[in-house]
Structure 1
Amino acid sequence: MANSIGRLLIKEGLISDAQLVQARINQKQSSGKLEDSLVSLGFLTSEQVKKILHPIPPIPLKINNTGLSEAFLSDLLLKIAYQEAGTFTLCQINDKLCLPFSVINEIIELLQADHLIAIRSAAGYGRETQVFELTQRGRERAEAALNISLYASAAPVPLKDYTRILAQQHVQQIQIDSRWIQESLSHMVISEKLLNQLGPAFSSGRAIFLYGPPGTGKSSVAEALGRALPDHVFIPQAIEVGGQIIRVFDPAIHFEITEKTREEMQLDINVNLKHDPRWKKCRRPVVMVGAEFTTEMLDLHLDIHSKFYEAPVQMKAANGVFILDDFGRQRVTPREMLNRWIVPLERGTDFLSLHTGMKFEIPFDQVNIFCTNLHPSDLVDEAFLRRIRHKIKMPHSTEGEYKEILRRVCVIQGIEFKEDVADYLIDTYYRKTGRVLTGSHPRDIIDQVVDLSRYLKQLPTFTTATVDMAATNYFIEL
C-alpha cells in the first residue's frame, strides 16, 4: 500500500525518490503511515497529502475548463433540448447536462449567436426565468447530432481527467487493519486463523484466490469485505475518448452518497457545488459476476442503435472490488479467461479498443477476488498462480463454529436456540452419516423449520422433531 502511495506522489512531482526512501525508513521506525512520515519530515504539508489522496474533481467554470470542445457541448445541449420537445429552461438543462450554470450560460450564448436557439418567453430579467426553444436551424443540427449518437445526458469527462482521478483514488491507499477486518466480518463466524489470512490479503490490494468446498462462505466473505470498504470515490457518469462516449456510472453498482436532494437542487439555482457535478460521489464499488461471465464482458460494448458505449465490468469496478464467483464454471475455459487478465494484473493497466480502431489505456485498479469450489492448480498453471499472491482455503466449520452459526440464525428468526437440539442435529445428521459440517447448512435447515411452521400455522420451534422434518427435506442420501 505504501509503495503505491509513494509511486503516485513521485509521479505527481511532489517528492523525489530519495525523499521517499527516507520517509519509508522513518515510517518503519515510527510504525505509522507513509504520509504521516512525509509530513513530519517536512517533505509535504497535510493539505498536499489530503489533496492528492482524497481528490475532488474541480468545478469547471468555463467551457475550456471542461476539457470538451464548444461544438461537442453545443451538440449535446441541442440533443437534450430536442428530446424535451424543442423547448427548455436553464434548470432543465442543468439537471440533464450536469454542468455549472456558468458553463451552460456560455453554451446558450454561443447557440443564440449561431441562431440555433431563441428565447420563447421570460417571467423576469434573470436567465433562470427564460424559456428557450430550438430554431429550425437548431432542430436540423440536433437531428444531425442524434444521427451520430443518441447520447443526450450528463456531459462526459475527458479520458485524461478520468485516469488522473482514478490513480489518486487507488484502492491500495485504503488503510486496513485487524480491527477493520474483524468488524467487517463480525456478522459471520470465522476463525482467528482465517481472519489473519484474509486481513493481509485484502489490505494488499492484490488479486486473491478464495477456494474450498461449497457452502463455506467464500462469496459471502468476498462481498462483505467489499461492501465494508471505507472512504468514498468519485465516479464519472460518462467519459469521452476520441469523440466517442462511454457510459460508466451504473446505478445497480455505484451507490451515490447524496449531499443534496434533487428537489433542493432544483429550487436553488445558485447551489454551492462542492465538486464537478459530472462526477458522482459514491461508495467504493463492488462488482460480482458468476457463471454468466465471458471475456467479452471485459471489452467495451457499443450499442448499434444508440451509438455510444457501455463500460466493461472492470471499469465499473475501478477503485473497488471485482468478484468472479464460481470460477471454473463459466462457458469459456479458465485458461482463456485468465490469459485476458495476466497483463492487467501484472502492470495495473488495461487497454480497450473503440470500433474506430483507436486503442487507449485505463487504470486496472481493483481488488480482484476469484472464488472457486475447485482447487486453483486444477484451473490454471503456475505462471498465473504466481500473479495471485494470496491463495486462501475456506475450510468446513468446526462443531463450535457450526453451533454458533446455528445460534445466530435462530436469533435472527426469533426462535429459541437449544444446545441439546443442536447436539442432536450434529450427532444424528453429521457424525453418524460422515457428513461434513458446512457453514451454509444452519441457515437452510432453520429456513425449512420456518417453512414448516408457516404451513402448519404455528410458531417456529427448534426441537428434535422439527429438526428431523427439516433434515429429511434438506439432505439427500448419496
Structure 2
Amino acid sequence: MANSIGRLLIKEGFISNAQLAQARIDQTQNSRRLEDSLVSLGFLTSEQINGILHPVPPIPLRIITTGLSEVFLSDLLLKIAYQEAGAFTLHQITSKLCLHYSVINELIELLKADHLITIRLAAGYGRETQVFELTQRGRERAEMAMNISLYVGAAPVPLKDYISILSQQYVQQIQIDKTWIRESLSHMVMSEKLLDQLGPAFSSGRAIFLYGPPGTGKSSVAEALGRALPDHVYIPQAIEVSGQIIRIFDPAIHFEVTDKSDERMQLDINANLKHDPRWIKCRRPVVMVGAEFTTEMLDLHWDRHSKFYEAPVQMKAANGVFILDDFGRQKMSPREMLNRWIVPLERGTDFLSLHTGMKFEIPFDQINIFCTNLRPADLVDEAFLRRIRHKIKINYSTESEYKEILRRVCAMQGIPFNENVADYLIDTYYRKTGRALTSSHPRDIIDQIIDSSRYFKQSPTFTMSTVDKAATNYFIEM
C-alpha cells in the first residue's frame, strides 16, 4: 500500500523522495497509514490527500479538454445520428455521447460548417429545441465511419486519463481493520485464528492463496470480502487507445452507485453534473472466474465484426478484487496460467496488445485471490508461491462451528433448531463414519429436508427422522 501511494505522490510532484522516506519511518514507528504520517509531518494537508486518493473526473467543457480529436468525436456523433434514422436533437446526442452540451454544441457547429448536418426543424430560437438531420454528405461520412468501427455509445476516455484516475483509486489505499473483517464475515462461522489471518492478508492488497478441502467456504470468504469493500471508484464506459476503442464498463460486474444528488442521465443545459459523465461511479468491482478461465481472457478481445475491443477480466476488476476459483481445474496447466501472472504481480503493471501490434501499459491494481481444493504442491512450485505472500488454509469445521452453522441455517429457513437432533446428526453421520465436518453440509441437509417437506406438503421440521431421510439422499458411501 505504502509503495503504491508513495510512487503516486512522487510522480504527481506532491512530495520528494526524501519526504517519502521520512514518512515511511514515521509510519513504521507509529503503526499508522502513510497518509497520516505525511499529514502529521506537515508534508501534505488532509484535504490534499483526500483529493489525490479520491479523484473526481473533471467535466470537459470543450472538445479539446475531452482528450479526443474533432474528427473522432464527429464520426461518433454521425454514427449515432445515422442509427437514429438521420435525425437527432441536442438532448439525444448529449445523452448518447455522455458529453456536456457545450461540447456537443461545438461539434454541431463544426458539422454544420462542413455541410454534414442541417437544421430540420426549429421550434424556437434555442439550440435545445432544434431537430437536426444528416445531409447526404453526412450519411456517406457516417457509413465510412461505420466501416471503421461499429462502436456507438459513450465517448471513450483517453488512455492517459484512464491511467491517471485508475492510479489514484488504488485498492491498497482502503482502510481495513479488525472490526471491518469481522463485520464483513459476520454471516459466516469461522475461528478467531482464521479471521486474524484473513485480516492482514486482505488489508495488504497483495495476492492471496486460499486452499483447503472442498466445501469449506474458500470462495464464499473471497467473494464476501470483495463485496464488502468500502468506498467507490469511477469506471469509464470505454477508453481510446491509438484510435481504437476498448469497452470496459460491464453491468454484470460494475454496479453503479446512485445518489439522489447525481444527475448523470440529465445532460441538458440545466444539468447539475458532479463529474465527467463518461465515467460511472461504481462499487469496487469483484470478478470471479472458475474452471472456464483461460489465459486468453487476460488479453483484449477484438471483435472482427464490430471492430472494437472488449476489456480483459483483469481490466474490469481494476481497483477491486479478482478471484480465480477452482484453481487447477482449468483446461491449461497451472504453470502456463501462472506464468502470465508473474510479471504483473511483481511489477504492478500489465501490458496489452492491439491487433495492430501496438503494446501499451496499464496499472495492474486488484487484490488477486486464488482458491483451490487441490494440494498447492501439486499445482505450483515454490518460486511462484514466494510471489504470493499470504497462503491461508481454510479447514473443516469444528463440532461447535458446525452446530452454529446449522443453527443459523435453520433460523434463516424458519425451522426450529433442536440441539439433540444436531448432536444426533454429528454422532451418526460424522463421528461414527469418520466423515469430516464440512461447512457447506448444514445448508445442503436442510435444503434436503425442505425439498422433501414441499413434496409431501408438510411443514419442514428438524428431527432425527427428517435428518435420516436427508442424509440417505445426500451422503454417498465411497
TM range (shorter): over 0.9
CA distance in 1, matches of 2:264, 2:313: 33
Residue 114 in structure 1 maps to residue 114 in structure 2: yes
2:450 pairs with 1:445: no
Structure 1 residues 61 and 264: alpha-carbon distance in aligned structure 2, compared to 1, 3 A threshold: closer
Tell me which moved more, 443-452 or 261-270: 261-270
1:71 corresponds to which residue? 71
What is the correspondence of 1:64-463 to structure 2 with a 5 Å cutoff? Answer: 64-259=64-259, 265-266=265-266, 269-463=269-463
1:237-283 CA-to-partner distances (Å, cap 9, x unmatched) read 00000110000000000001123599994496411111110000000
Cα gap change, 1:76 to 1:284, in 2 (>3 Å): same
Give 1:47 deviation, angstroms: 2.0
How far the C-alpha of 1:29 sits from its partner, in A, is: 4.3
Q: TM-score, normalised by structure 2?
A: 0.98
Query: Could you list the runs of 5+ residues in structure 1 that have no partner in the other structure?
Result: none
Q: Displacement of 1:19 after TM fit?
A: 1.1
Deviations 1:76-134 (A, max 9, x none): 00000000110001111111100011111111110011010011112211111111000
Runs of 4+ in 1 over 6 A off after TM superposition: 261-264
Which whole-Å deviations, capped at 9, do the CAs of 1:138-193 have from their partners, x for residues lacking one? Answer: 00000000000000100000111111111110111111111100000000001000
Helix, strand or coil at the partner of 1:293: coil
Name the SS of the counterpart of 2:288 in structure 1: strand
Tell me by how many angstroms 1:377 deviates.
Answer: 1.5
Matched position secondary structure for 2:391: strand
Cα shift at 1:395: 0.4
1:29-67 alpha-carbon deviations (Å, 9 max, x no partner) = 443332122123221122211111001111101000011
1:9 and 2:9 correspond = yes
- How many angstroms does 1:23 deviate by? 2.0
Measure how far apart 1:3 and its partner are.
2.7
**Which residue is 1:27 aligned to?**
27
Kindly state the Cα deviation for residue 424 of structure 1 after the two structures are TM-superposed.
0.2
Q: CA RMSD in A?
A: 1.3
Structure 2 counterpart of 1:301, which letter?
H
User: SS of 2:210's equivalent?
Assistant: strand
SS in 2 for 1:38: helix
Q: Tell me the CA shift for residue 362 of structure 1.
A: 0.7
Amino acid at match of 1:148: I
> In the alignment, what sits opposite 1:41?
41
* Distance in 1 between residues matched to 2:128 and 2:270, nearest whole Å: 10
> What CA distance in whole angstroms lies between the structure 2 residues aligned with 1:209 and 1:32?
26
* Gap change, CA 1:199 and 1:431, over 3 Å in 2: same
Aligned-partner Cα distance in 2 for 1:404–1:435: 18
Counterpart-to-counterpart distance in 2, 1:298 and 1:50: 32
Residues 315-353 of structure 1, C-alpha deviations (whole Å, 9 max, x = no match): 000000000000000011101111111111110111111
Q: Which amino acid aligns with 2:397?
A: S
**2:51 alignment partner in structure 1:** 51
Q: In the alignment, what sits opposite 2:61?
A: 61
Q: 1:202 to 1:279 in 2, by over 3 A?
A: same
Amino acid at match of 2:238: A
Provide TM-score, normalisation by structure 1.
Answer: 0.98
Cα pair distance change 1:387/1:300, threshold 3 Å: same
Q: 1:380 to 1:222 in 2, by over 3 A?
A: same
2:119 and 2:198 map into 1 onto residues whose CA distance is: 62
- 1:410 is aligned with what amino acid? C
User: After superposition, what is the alpha-carbon deviation per residue over 1:271-312, rounded to whole angstroms, capped at 9, x for unaligned?
Assistant: 111111000000000000000000100000011110000000
Pair 265,344 (structure 1): closer, same or farther in 2 beyond 3 Å: closer
Aligned counterparts of 1:238 and 1:264: Cα–Cα separation in 2: 16
Percent identity for Structure 1 against Structure 2: 84
Q: Kindly provide the CA deviation profile for residues 380-399 of structure 1, in whole angstroms up to 9, marking residues without a partner as x.
A: 11111111001100000000
What is the one-letter code of the residue matched to 2:38? L
The one-letter amino acid paired with 2:72 is: F
**Partner AA of 1:343 in structure 2:** V
CA separation in 2, counterparts of 1:123 and 1:462? 72
